[in-house]
Amino acid sequence: MPLLEVENLSIDLGDFHLRDVSLSVEENDYLTIIGPTGAGKSVLLEAIAGFYPLLKGRVILEGKDITREPPERRGMSIVYQDYVLFPHMTVFENIAFGLRKKGLVRAEIEREVRHIAEELHIDHLLHRKPGTLSGGEQQRTALARALVVRPRVLLMDEPFSALDSKTREKLRSLVRNVIDEYGTTVLHVTHDFEDVFALAKHVAVMRDGRIVQFGTPEEVFSRPADEFIADFVRTNLLRGEVVGKEGELTAVRVGNVILYTADDAEGKVTLSIRPEDIILAREPGECSAQNVVPVLIESLEKRGHLVWLSLSSEGVPLSAVVTPNAAELLGIKPGEKFYAMFKASALRVIK
Ligand SMILES: Nc1ncnc2c1ncn2[C@@H]1O[C@H](COP(=O)(O)OP(=O)(O)O)[C@@H](O)[C@H]1O
Ligand SMILES: [Mg+2]
C-alpha cells in the first residue's frame, strides 16, 4: 500500500485550476515536483497539506481518507523558501514548538531537539535568535522544526531557492542523511535540477495544473513524454527515420548522418540525447561511443558552474555541456570544429 495517495485532486482558484491530479507515493520515497512557474506546484503541495477547499478528489494517508482533516491533523510538515521562523524565540524554542504542542515532557523535548540539531549541524546555535543566523542556518532551523515532530510526509516548497549554491549543496547532503535516518517520505517542489539529481527517487512534471509526466529522474530526463517536457528538462530532440539494424543497435538517419541507438524502433522516430552525455573532441579517435558526429561550435554560455554549448551538425542544433576547465583545455570557441560523441545507449527513442 502506498503511504500517500492523491486521487483526482481538483481545485478551482478562478483563473487557475488544478486538474485531476493523481499521485501515489511509497513510504521513504523522495518525490520532486518540477514544472514552469505558475504550473500549480505550490498549490498542489498546499492542497495536500490541506490549505485549499477541493472541487473534488481525495487524499489518503496510510490507507486513511484525510481529505477532510485540517492541516494540523495530517501528520505533515511544510518547509518554505523563506524560512518563516518565530523571530522572538531562540533556535531551540523554534524547533521545540511542535513538540510542546504535542505535549511532550521537558526531557523528551530536550532530547529530540538536541538530536535533530546535531543531525543538521545547528546544535551550537540553539541559544541564538533567528535574526542573527545566516540564510543556510535559518533554513536548517526550519527543517529541524519540521522534522523534529517526525512527520509522515515532509512537504518542501523550493526550500533551497534563497540560498547560494554552496550552501544549497551542503543542505542537500544534510537533508539526504536526515531523511534516511528519520525514514521520512518527501514531496519537494523545486526549479533546480540539481535537487532532482541529488535527492529524487521520483519526479512529477507539472504543466497548467496537471501532472504531465511521472517517473524516475532517468525516465523523465532521458525519455521526456513530449516536446514541452523535453524542452523543459533541456534534452536534445532529434527527428529521424530508422534505416536498419546492426546487431543489437538500431540505425537511424538524422539529416545526413546515421546515428545508432540501443533502443528498438521502426519508421519515423524522435530521439533524445542529454547534453551531459555528449563528449567533445578535436579528433574522432579512440572512444567507445558508437555515435561520432562532426559539429560546429555556435556559441558558449556560462550558467552556474557549467558551460552550455550550442552546436550544429549540418544544420541540426544540439546542446552540450562541459566544465569551464574542459572548455578552456579543448579550446572550445565559436566557429571551431569538433566531434560530438555519444553512446548508443544514451540516445533514447522517445516516440
Ligand atoms: N490563493 C490563490 N488564489 C488564486 N489564484 C492562486 C492562488 N494561489 C495561486 N494562485 C494561482 O495559481 C497558479 C499556480 O500557482 P503556483 O502553484 O504558485 O505555481 P508554481 O508552480 O509556480 O508554484 C498561478 O497562476 C497563481 O497565480
Ligand atoms: Mg511555487
pLDDT tens per residue across span 236-269: 999 999 999 999 999 999 988 899 999 999 999 9
Domains and CATH numbers, the chain: 4-228 (3.40.50.300), 234-349 (2.40.50.100)
* Smallest CA separation from ligand 1 atom 24, residue: 38
Range 152-174 average pLDDT: 94
Instruction: For residue 157, give the ligand 1 atom closest to its CA.
Output: 23
Helix (H), strand (E) at residue 321: strand 316-322
pLDDT interval class at 305 (50, 70, 90): confident
pLDDT tens-place string over residues 187-222: 999 999 999 999 999 999 999 999 999 999 999 999
For residue 45, pLDDT over 90 is answered with: yes
Report which secondary-structure segment, H or E, holds 252.
strand 249-254
- Give the pLDDT score at 256: 87
**pLDDT of residue 83 exceeding 80:** no
pLDDT of 145: 96
Q: Is the pLDDT of residue 233 over 90?
A: yes
Which residues have C-beta under 5 Å from ligand 2, the single-atom ion? Answer: 42
What local confidence, expressed as pLDDT, does residue 316 receive?
Answer: 85
Mean pLDDT, residues 114-119 taken together:
96
Q: Which three cell numbers stand for residue 344?
A: 548508443
Percent of the chain topping pLDDT 90: 90
Of 63, 351, 72, the residue nearest 225 (C-alpha): 351
pLDDT value for 289: 86
CA-to-CA distance for 329 and 342, rounded, in angstroms?
Answer: 20
Q: How far is the CA of 269 from the centre of ligand 1 (A)?
A: 36
- Closest C-alpha residue for ligand 1 atom 25: 38
Is the Cβ–Cβ distance between 260 and 251 less than 8 Å?
A: yes
Ligand 1 neighbour 13 (Cβ under 6 A): yes
The three cell numbers of residue 154 are 515532509
Mean pLDDT of the chain: 94
Q: Grade residue 284 by pLDDT with cuts at 50, 70 and 90.
A: confident
Concatenated DSSP letters of 62-117: TTEE-TTS-GGGSSEEEE-SS----TTS-HHHHHHHHHHHHT--HHHHHHHHHHHH
Residue with cell 546542446: 319
| pLDDT of amino acid 157 | 97
Test site for ligand 1: of 9, 21, 42, most ligand atoms within 8 A of the Cβ: 42
Q: Which ligand is nearest to the CA of 33?
A: 1
Q: Is the pLDDT of residue 286 over 80?
A: no
Half-sphere exposure (Cβ direction) of 110: Cα atoms closer than 13 Å? 3
Mean pLDDT computed over 65-87: 93
Whole-number pLDDT of residue 165 = 87
229 is written with which cell numbers?
Answer: 517536457
Strand, coil or helix: what is 239?
strand
- Among residues 36, 349, 35, the alpha carbon closest in space to that of 223 is found at 349
Report which of 342, 6, 34 is spatially closest to residue 215, judged by C-alpha positions.
34
Place of cell 481525495: 58
Query: How many Å apart are CA 76 and CA 87, to the nearest integer?
Result: 23
Residue 351: pLDDT above 90?
no
Q: How far is Cα 327 from Cα 267, in angstroms, rounded to an integer?
A: 37
| pLDDT of 11 | 96
The amino acid that residue 4 corresponds to is L
- Å from CA of 18 to ligand 1 middle: 9
The answer to whether residue 285 scores a pLDDT higher than 80 is: no
pLDDT of residue 304: 79
Q: Ligand 2 centre from 7 Cα, in Å?
A: 21
pLDDT of 303 reads 86
